[in-house]
Structure 1
């Protein structure tokens, strides 16, 4: 059974770190980060410098890093992004943990960061540890619903085998997929990221994957936008940055 170990990707200080003046300060820091990235400075050095300047917490700095990409990266990623109408033309290759965890975080009401490249990313930072939670079943249901509505003919999920409970997640995906009306495979591999290098029709929000795959779908954006209306999405590029707030619980 899934664990009820609380929200995925939440922190008790999020309401202070990602609302009001703190959020406006983060938006200003994000502009600085983007400016420095476009001038060739290294990401880690930029985050350290900007974080110190704006007196940001480690979690706020992580949010900045998750949102950061250069103009060149943004252009390349967006040019490789496929329209959702193309999903029906072939198999989708899914970065399983990446997509599922992002949806679990959104369903938990925890902050989701919208990057400059238009991709939604979470702050869960599980780093090799994973357990099924109450939101896992709902996340899988939403994935199946989206795949059916897009008339996807087939899907292959790749999961990192060294991550804890990857076998249990594989079993859960296959169980849910019985209702998806399409062939679904789940493949355990030592490193899922490398499977997508040079591949077309990838589903992922991982920056490294997006920079190395040939084409991709921004499926997390569609699923959250269509089905999780109360998700807490933080967009540092938004002109209404001060209006963003966590969902009520």
Structure 2
């Protein structure tokens, strides 16, 4: 398989130098309690930013731990709604699937390269990476795309439509690589960089959405937790998962 350009040969989506300390076994109980407290506050109408500060101050969390707590928490109402709209794997058979491209790929790249993954209150696995307007492929990018393709082929999805954030630099180059891999494997895929993938994913009412982004899965008619499917079944190897559920 041809290597991706962009000097990805020595780049990974791995862990932060402090992650062993911030997310190690000694830190997990406080983080788990912080997620529970933040979820309680969110369920009672507290603004997210002020609630994160309140909980973070109480447990003396570092900045990266506060970010993790915010990503892992959700109200009981949100958790129940997300659970009701989540579909089992067999429902993908013969259906059209839309993928939140950067959301899925970055999570799988982090899993494959040993980055920390948060097992969140709604059952999603979320990474600690962020694109911040620029995406660069890593050593694990081709593997991540291939894992997605093989799994969706196993589930017999009828067609797959990837959406990438067009304003993010290198989205066009990534789209070309995804198309190339799809052609090599005869996967029924299309790939489209768009200005606002969240809006398009939510508007695709007849399709199954693949994402772990809270905004997307809260608005989607139905969604599938493909990242968790691949990671928790060890298709990405022995991933580093920090369970922040109660």
TM-score, scaled to structure 2? 0.93
> Which residue of structure 2 aligns with residue 123 of structure 1?
128
How many Å separate the matches in 1 of 2:92 and 2:45? 35
1:6 Cα deviation from its structure 2 partner:
3.3
Match of 2:84 among 70, 76, 79: 79
Summarize the Cα distance change of 1:5–1:193 in structure 2 as closer, same or farther, 3 Å threshold: farther
1:79 Cα deviation from its structure 2 partner:
0.5
How many Å separate the matches in 2 of 1:41 and 1:4? 45
Match of 1:63 among 63, 68, 89: 68
SS at match of 2:44: coil
Match of 1:177 among 174, 182, 185: 182
1:15 and 2:20 aligned: yes
Contact 2:36–2:73 at 8 Å: present in 1 too?
A: no
1:140 and 2:145 aligned: yes
How many Å separate the matches in 1 of 2:185 and 2:84? 30
How many Å separate the matches in 2 of 1:192 and 1:83? 23
**In the TM superposition, what whole-angstrom CA distance separates every residue of 1:114-154 from its partner, at most 9, and x where no partner exists?**
11111111110222110111110110110111011111121
Contact 1:159–1:166 at 8 Å: present in 2 too?
A: yes
Quote the RMSD (CA, aligned, Å): 1.4
How many Å separate the matches in 1 of 2:187 and 2:24? 42
TM-score, scaled to structure 1? 0.91
Where do 5+ consecutive residues of structure 2 fail to align?
none
1:201 Cα deviation from its structure 2 partner:
0.6
Match of 2:242 among 212, 234, 237: 234
Match of 1:222 among 229, 232, 235: 229
1:181 Cα deviation from its structure 2 partner:
3.4
- Paired residues for 1:191-230 under 5 Å: 191-199=196-204, 200-226=207-233, 227-230=235-238
1:198 Cα deviation from its structure 2 partner:
3.5
Q: How many residues align?
A: 238
SS at match of 2:110: helix
How many Å separate the matches in 1 of 2:93 and 2:237? 25
Contact 1:156–1:184 at 8 Å: present in 2 too?
A: yes
SS at match of 2:203: coil
SS at match of 1:134: coil
Contact 1:9–1:122 at 8 Å: present in 2 too?
A: no
How many Å separate the matches in 1 of 2:44 and 2:185? 46
Summarize the Cα distance change of 1:28–1:132 in structure 2 as closer, same or farther, 3 Å threshold: same
How many Å separate the matches in 2 of 1:119 and 1:221? 6
Where do 5+ consecutive residues of structure 1 fail to align?
239-249
Contact 1:153–1:182 at 8 Å: present in 2 too?
A: no
How many Å separate the matches in 2 of 1:188 and 1:126? 15
How many Å separate the matches in 1 of 2:10 and 2:71? 25
> Which residue of structure 2 aligns with residue 40 of structure 1?
45
How many Å separate the matches in 1 of 2:130 and 2:149? 25
After TM superposition, the runs of 4+ consecutive aligned structure 1 residues lying more than 4 A away are none
1:10 Cα deviation from its structure 2 partner:
2.1
**In the TM superposition, what whole-angstrom CA distance separates every residue of 1:89-111 from its partner, at most 9, and x where no partner exists?**
21100111111111001111000
How many Å separate the matches in 1 of 2:171 and 2:211? 17
